[in-house]
Structure formats: C-alpha cells, structure tokens
Amino acid sequence: MAPQPERRYQMSKSHERKLVRETLDRVGKNWSKASSTNAKLISRLKNIAQYMATNQGLNSITHMKTRHVDAYVAHLRDERHLAPSSLQGYATAMRQLANTIGKSNIIRSNIELGANRSNADRYKNANTPSDTAKLTEIRDGLYARAEWQGLAHEMQQLFGLRIKESLGSVNTIERDGRFFLHVPRGFAKNGLERLVPVESGAQRDLLDRVQAHCHNEGQRSLIPAAKSLKQGYWQQVNAIRDLGGTKKNNANSHSLRREYIRERYAEIREIPDREQRQEAEQGLIEQVGHFDTEKLRHYTPK
C-alpha cells in the first residue's frame, strides 16, 4: 500500500508560536554550553514544536507521545533526507524536551530511530586527503579580501584551530620557559579553554603578525571592531566556502586541522616506548580540544 500523504492541521500562526514558546520555556537555556551549541538546540526545538503544531495538531507539547516522535523522525529522515549524524542532534534535542515533560521513555534509541552512525561513517575522514594547493589558494584569496581573514586561516593551519578559535586566539602564556597559545573560553568549543604549544619559528612569526595586526587596529581579536563575534565568524565561514573551501574539494577548514594533527601524530607513532607514546597522544588530543585519544581516529588512522 502506498504511504499516505502526511496530514497537516489548520493551526493558526499564533498557536504555532505558542507551542514554540512553551517548548523553549520548558527546556530553558543551558548557560554551560557555548553560544553556537545553544543556537543549534533552540533551532531544533523550534522546528520540533512547529512540526508538532502543524503536522500533529498538538495543543501542548506535554501531549507529545512516541507516535508523534516517530512521525517527526520519519519526516527528517525520509523527506528532509538528513544524515544519521544530523538526526542524532535532533534526537538529543527531543530527549532534552521529553525529560522536561516527564516522558523520557517516549524517545527510542538512536539505532531504532535510524540515527546511529557506523564506525565506517564515523571514521571515514581519517583517510581523506587534503588538497594543499587548494588550501594555499584559499589562504591567498582570504588575504586579498582582508588581512584578518588570511591571518585567521593561517592560525588554523599552524595551530590546528577551529574557525571560531582562530579568530580570538591571539595571546601567549609562558610556563616553565615554554610559550603557549591561549585559546580563550569565549572562542573555544563548549567553552573549554586550552593551551597550544608554540614550537616552531613559523608559529612565532605568525603570532607576531597577528598581534601586530590587533595592535594596529586597536582590537583584542582578529575580528574587526565594528563586527560581533557572530558576524566575524560567518563572514569567515562564507568566504572560505566562496573560495572553494568545501568538503567536496578536500579543502574545507577542517582539512587544516586534520593536517595539523596528522603531521604531529606521524612523529608520535615513531616513539618506541608505549607509555611515552600514549602520553604524547593524550597531549596532542588535548591540544586540539578533545579528551579521548579515540578521537584521533577521526583525523588519522591509528
């Protein structure tokens, strides 16, 4: 039997907004999360509420049941064609919502929802090559647009930073005669500040140029004073994409981070002592903002 078209309820916009407001009020804002994480959660919760109002006819989000959740997941998977990794994010949002209304048991497991990534999918980027020539072309293109954008791209390359981190990590700290780049809480993923060792002449030269730029512009970060963090971040993201920095081209910003990790892990693998090698692996994974050395498999074959 052919699947029936999904029913849509004639709910007013005011009712839809009411359900969205109720949903957001129920979950509240988690201030322990970074702003980008909150933004994703809020967007997903809004989408869930809008779907429950217009497609399931719910008058209150507390009326949500397993069948409503299943229909929503099927909508995301079969109509919007979301990948398992994206489905996981929506499943997490629904679990947070279900917990607040006392119905944690209405959300099936990720495997049952079709939101479970296989190891092959999870670690597929470990063997992905990076187009270094394209990455150089993108860097030059960013410098042609604005110095701060080119500098940020180089910071990603030489320090293994994420885009947001590259915009605000400009200061160094000295400890026991060694210098470290400070990745501040406001720019680090999940607010987890960290220190990245400054080990090469190329890194020191880049930091000199970054700090000189900030001094000359009267800024505390690479983001122009007239722009907010969000505006600066999206300007950089869009510029990289416009210049061909995409996953398809093996030249997205993650490629810079991946090459940073690969280069250092290649040296670690040559350490003969197992305990010292494991300690070096842990140090590397913490430098790039993770905790579990299993994460190395996302970047390079272990």
Buried b (16+ CB within 10 A) or exposed e, 158-183: bbbbbbbbbbbbbbbeeeeeeebbbb
SS3 118: coil
7: which DSSP letter?
P
Torsion of CA 286, 289, 295, 301, to 10 degrees: -80
* Torsion over CA: 73, 38, 116, 252 (sign): positive
pLDDT at 261: 92
Q: CB pairs under 8 A, 24+ apart, for 165-171?
A: 165/189, 165/289, 166/222, 166/236, 167/221, 167/222, 167/223, 167/229, 167/232, 167/233, 167/236, 168/221, 168/222, 168/223, 168/229, 169/196, 170/207, 170/210, 170/211, 170/214, 170/220, 170/221, 170/222, 171/211
Q: Which range, 28-32, 77-81, 106-110, is most confident?
A: 106-110
Bridge partners for 181 per DSSP: 172, 196
Q: Which range, 71-85, 181-195, 196-210, 280-294, is most confident?
A: 196-210
Query: Over pLDDT 90: what percentage of the chain?
Result: 63
Kindly state the tokens that stand for 272.
Answer: 């003969």
Predicted confidence (pLDDT) at residue 98 exceeds the cutoff of 70: yes
Mean of per-residue pLDDT scores for the chain: 88
With tokens 């947001």, the residue in question is: 164
pLDDT at 294: 74
Segment 248-280, tens digit of pLDDT: 899 998 899 999 999 999 999 999 999 999 999
pLDDT at 6: 54
Q: Quick one: which of 217, 226, 155 has its CA closest to 187?
A: 155
With tokens 């960290």, the residue in question is: 194
pLDDT at 5: 46
| Topology of the domain covering 127-298 | hpI Integrase; Chain A (1.10.443)
Predicted confidence (pLDDT) at residue 32 exceeds the cutoff of 60: no
Kindly state the tokens that stand for 217.
Answer: 């512009």
pLDDT at 144: 98
Domain boundaries, the chain: 13-117, 127-298
Residue type, 147: E
Segment 102-161, tens digit of pLDDT: 998 999 888 888 877 655 555 566 778 899 999 999 999 999 999 999 999 999 999 999
Predicted confidence (pLDDT) at residue 237 exceeds the cutoff of 80: yes
CATH fold match for the domains 13-117 and 127-298:
no
pLDDT at 241: 94
Terminal alpha carbon distance of the chain: 48
Predicted confidence (pLDDT) at residue 291 exceeds the cutoff of 80: no
pLDDT at 296: 81
Mean pLDDT in residue range 188-199 = 89
User: Between residues 251 and 13, which one has the greater pLDDT?
Assistant: 251
pLDDT at 61: 95
pLDDT at 36: 55
| Topology of the domain covering 13-117 | DNA polymerase; domain 1 (1.10.150)
Predicted confidence (pLDDT) at residue 4 exceeds the cutoff of 80: no
The rounded Cα 79 to chain-centroid distance in angstroms is 24
Q: Quick one: which of 26, 140, 30, 13 has its CA closest to 153?
A: 140
- Determine how many CB atoms are found less than 10 A away from the CB of residue 123: 18
pLDDT at 13: 77
Mean pLDDT in residue range 33-45 = 74
How far apart CA 52 and CA 59 sit, in angstroms, is 9
User: Between residues 181 and 6, which one has the greater pLDDT?
Assistant: 181
Q: State the DSSP H helix or E strand holding residue 277, giving kind and residue range, or none if neither.
A: helix 274-287
The rounded Cα 200 to chain-centroid distance in angstroms is 28
Predicted confidence (pLDDT) at residue 302 exceeds the cutoff of 70: no
How far apart CA 108 and CA 179 sit, in angstroms, is 49
User: Between residues 296 and 251, which one has the greater pLDDT?
Assistant: 251
